[in-house]
Chain A
Amino acid sequence: MTEAPVAIAPDVYWIGALDPQLRVFDVILKTANGTTYNAYCVRGATGVAVIDTVKAEYADTFFERLEQVARYDEITVIVLNHLEPDHTGALPELMRRAPQARLYISVKAQLMLKGLLKSEDLSYTPVDTGDTVDLGGRTLTFLNTPFLHWPDTQCTYLNEEALLFSGDVFGCHFCDPRLFNDRVGDFRFSFEYYYQHIMRPFREHVRYGLDLIEPLDLKLIAPAHGPILRDTPRAYVQRYRQLAAPLLHNEAADRAKTLVIFYISSYGNTALMALAVRDGAESIDGVRASLYDLQGGEVTPFVDLIEEADGIVFGSPTINGDAVKPIWDLLSSLAVVNIKDKLGAAFGSYGWTGEAVQMLEDRLRGLKLRVPVAGVRVKLIPTGEELARCHEFGKQLAEHLTGRASRRVIDMSELLKEPSHAQG
């Protein structure tokens, strides 16, 4: 069967590939009906542009479609909106077949391109927002949209057709050969799911990208995966704007920093500590502290809470030398939200050894949270004095959140006397 290209606008063709059998994408995403790798060809009076390619296994299909709309010696421009291998798998062969074509990539894509092609001797043009390429009566304008969803990502706008080649933004894993959003099956779930798993950790960057995209006249959005959005394309832009906003209005946000405390307790000891930490944090004006028993909730809403919080504290007993599984389950579910630079801390009661607190602190640092106050560990049942330490710990966390913590000066020789990090 001949793989036919599909015209999506005058002299603009979809030349991508369908992958209906794919069920898991990039380890983290499921898809119940596969995906598409969308590539496009734009013909102008003096030049031809190829925008993105496909996953390597689908290169033959891509070239078959491309050859029906352009000769290789006509191709003057190759645009890579995103260098991930599902869009660049056919690039080396395309460069071999069309050696005269000039590569246009974002500034941040340069080192990735060298890594991808394993060559330092490459010729390309790095482009930024507002840079253009003329194809003869047709103009491609670049929009630098970093972290949607890699540092290198950009969008490319075909001025004369008001057509945005958006890369992964506005895409989804949904495979339907009818291609256009007004003809394919219901892909709304896939669209939302894709945002939640791919774009959500970068929502500040999504907002930045939308600021560039929203002013454009948009007749059609041609993403790198899933349906081509020709019916009400702006509705998908508006939906992204909604998705990139906080889930609910935080009524305390204007007057308070938010500290969420998650705990789990075998015999009520870590729970007692959690209450004291909460009370200590609440004793500082401008902090809203909230307490959650991990046994009473599920991971997803807790991830939502963490996304909006300024500080996160974990209270865990130590069982057989480790923090407990519900804590690790939550801590291994945070890749979908941005938590960098939030305040983190840990505490807990233990019976024998008490490793959990430091393990959690190390994990929080690994997730790029700042951990300014060393955690409190208590052997078995906390005394009044130990609960006072927990109260003080909560207070110190609140002081750090509100910028009231005093800076401390330590001599290295003091640090060397201690087995682990020695904060206040």
Chain B
Amino acid sequence: MPKANVTFEDIGVTVTVPAGTRLIEISEKVGAGITYGCREGECATCMMKIVSGMENMTERSVLEDKVLQENMASRKHRLACQAQVLGGEIVVRPG
């Protein structure tokens, strides 16, 4: 199974994960500073910044895109409860 390396900048930890894993599953386990609300892509509490490796993430769904826009997110932001990793290197931070 393809793997991805996700680095959480705020705590200085890199986690090797299978492709398809949602960021929420990793950050919660590793104790990164990404907090959660609804976990269903509506509240935007888990908005985070992709420092690098956006190309290694799934595309935004229509729902995620709408919620991010409503919350004035930049193109570098994603919802941890929606975004899945595809492979390669990804660096994220709360934000």
Residues of A within 8 A of B (CB): 108, 111, 151, 341, 361, 365-366, 368-372, 374, 400, 405-412, 415-416, 418, 420-423
Contacts and interface: CB of A to CB of B under 8 A. Distances in A.
B17 interface: yes
Contacts of A420: 29, 31
A423 to B, nearest CB: 5
A412 B26 contact: yes
Contacts of A422: 29-31
Contact of A415 (B5, B12, B30, B35): B30
24 contacts: A151-B72, A341-B10, A365-B31, A365-B33, A368-B35, A368-B94, A370-B11, A400-B12, A407-B12, A407-B13, A408-B12, A408-B14, A409-B14, A409-B15, A411-B15, A411-B16, A412-B15, A412-B17, A415-B15, A415-B26, A418-B29, A421-B31, A422-B29, A423-B31
Nearest to A369: B33
A410 B35 contact: no
A271 B30 CA distance: 28
Interface centre among B28, B30, B33, B94 (most CB of A within 10 A): B33
A413 to B, nearest CB: 9
Contacts of B21: 412
A409 B4 CA distance: 12
A415 B29 contact: yes
A335 to B, nearest CB: 16
B16 A409 contact: yes
Given A108-B72, A111-B72, A412-B18, A421 B29 contact: yes
Given A111-B70, A368-B94, A372-B10, A410 B31 contact: no
Contacts, number: 76
A345 to B, nearest CB: 11
Nearest to B25: A412
Contacts of B28: 421
Main secondary structure of the interface of B (DSSP, over half): mixed
A410 B15 contact: yes
Main secondary structure of the interface of A (DSSP, over half): loop
A-B complex: 6 closest residue pairs judged by Cβ atoms: A421-B31, A370-B10, A372-B11, A415-B29, A412-B17, A409-B14
Interface centre among A369, A370, A405, A418 (most CB of B within 10 A): A370
A409 B10 CA distance: 14
A372 B12 contact: yes
A64 B7 CA distance: 60
Given A111-B70, A366-B35, A368-B94, A423 B30 contact: yes
Nearest to A365: B33
Interface string B25-58: 0101111011100000000000000000000000
A294 B70 CA distance: 41
A299 to B, nearest CB: 24
Contacts of B14: 407-410
A423 B26 CA distance: 12
Contacts of B10: 341, 370, 372
Contacts of B18: 412
Contact of A370 (B7, B16, B33): B33
A310 to B, nearest CB: 14
A251 to B, nearest CB: 29
Given A410-B30, A421-B29, A370 B94 contact: yes
Contacts of A415: 15, 26, 29-30
Contacts of B7: 407
B94 to A, nearest CB: 6
A407 to B, nearest CB: 5
Contact of A371 (B15, B33, B72): B33
A416 B18 CA distance: 12
A423 B16 contact: no
A423 B15 CA distance: 11
B57 to A, nearest CB: 16
A374 B31 contact: yes
A371 B30 contact: no
A367 B65 CA distance: 25
Given A368-B35, A374-B31, A409-B15, 13 more contacts: A361-B31, A365-B31, A365-B34, A365-B35, A366-B35, A371-B11, A372-B12, A408-B12, A410-B13, A411-B15, A412-B16, A416-B29, A423-B11
Contacts of B11: 370-372, 423
A409 B16 CA distance: 7
A393 to B, nearest CB: 14
A293 B21 CA distance: 43
Contact of A421 (B17, B30, B70, B72): B30
B16 A371 contact: no
Nearest to B18: A412
A142 B18 CA distance: 50
